[in-house]
Amino acid sequence: MSIEVRGLRRSYRTGSVEVPALRGLDLDLPAGSVTALYGASGSGKTTLLNCVAGLDTPDAGTVVVDGTEVTALSSEQAVAWRRGALGFVHQGHALMPWLTARENVEVPLRLTGTPRRDRAHIAAEALDEVGLHDWVDHLPDELSGGQRQRVAIARAAATRPAVVLADEPTGALDERTGARILELLAGLAADRDCTVVMATHDPATATVADRVVELRDGRLRDRPATGTSSGTGGP
Ligand code: ADP
Ligand code: MG
């Protein structure tokens, strides 16, 4: 699924001060590509991901994901569209602490109407793919930070979305664990044929991406990718 961003602007008002988060942004991400959205804290990464996900409404501009104009959807339509088309990996894994790894992965499957009898099997398979075969029945508290982030990736990928967005997926991890998580995320593009966008201020992200896009003060600066490509949209 391709992602097309045109003229995207978004400001936040705090009291009488208007803070521009995105200042007119254009971006084309081909289907199956892995993009690192790099930039310092406050550069607009989360705002951009939220606009692509239909979680935030820009002041101007459009986002089209594989023909769906996300910026034209009502919030109810956006909820339905997200369930079918999108996986989201947060910085904090955002797992439900009272559910096991498998049950956490089953949540989006339930929301997309996967029959009850198939859910446990699909969830276990998704956890197997991220190397958590032996941990399916554990609670998040019983897992390491890296394992929790793997569960979050399995949860985002279980519904086989065409787009996976990850917001600082390695933010809470040590370097080595973070590198594995980035490889797993990039691998989704190849294995599941989905378009992956990872927001980060971790320069290591560049090594797994087809393309590095740098945000600075709500504007884009393109940079050459340094790494090997695992997606199909790379150079
Ligand atoms: P990043 O994810 O790169 O750290 P953000 O997209 O979160 O950047 O933020 C971009 C800018 O917009 C920052 O200046 C931030 O303070 C501001 N901003 C983001 N969200 C809000 C909000 N809900 N209210 C006010 N300002 C915000
Ligand atoms: Mg952010």
pLDDT digits (tens, 9 = 90+) for 63-104: 999 899 999 999 999 999 999 899 999 877 689 999 999 999
Dihedral sign computed on CA atoms, order 36, 42, 48, 50? positive
The two structure tokens encoding residue 76: 């109810």
pLDDT in tens, 183-209: 888 988 888 779 999 998 887 777 889
pLDDT tens for each residue of 20-66: 999 999 999 999 999 999 999 999 999 999 999 999 999 999 999 98
Predicted pLDDT of residue 225: 58
How many CB atoms sit inside 10 A of residue 205's CB? Answer: 28
- Nearest protein CA to atom 12 of ligand 1, as residue: 21
216 lines ligand 1 (CB under 6 A): no
Bridge partners (DSSP) listed for residue 8: 25
User: Which atom of ligand 1 lies at the shortest distance from residue 13's CA?
Assistant: 25
**Chain position carrying tokens 């490509």:** 229
Q: How far apart are CA 119 and CA 40, in angstroms?
A: 39
Are 37 and 44 spatial neighbours (Cβ–Cβ below 8 Å)? Answer: no
Decide the pairing of beta strands 34-38 and 211-216.
parallel
Strands 195-200 and 211-216: unpaired
Token pair 């019983």 in the structure block, residue = 142
CA of 94 to the centre of ligand 1 (A): 20
Provide, for the chain, the percentages of residues in helix, strand and coil under a 3-state DSSP scheme, each rounded to the nearest 5.
40, 25, 35
For residue 199, report the distance from its CA to the centre of ligand 2, in Å: 7
Vertex 103 angle, CA 97 and 107, to 5°: 95
The pairing of beta strand 163-167 with beta strand 86-89: parallel
With tokens 């917001």, the residue in question is 167
pTM of the model: 0.90
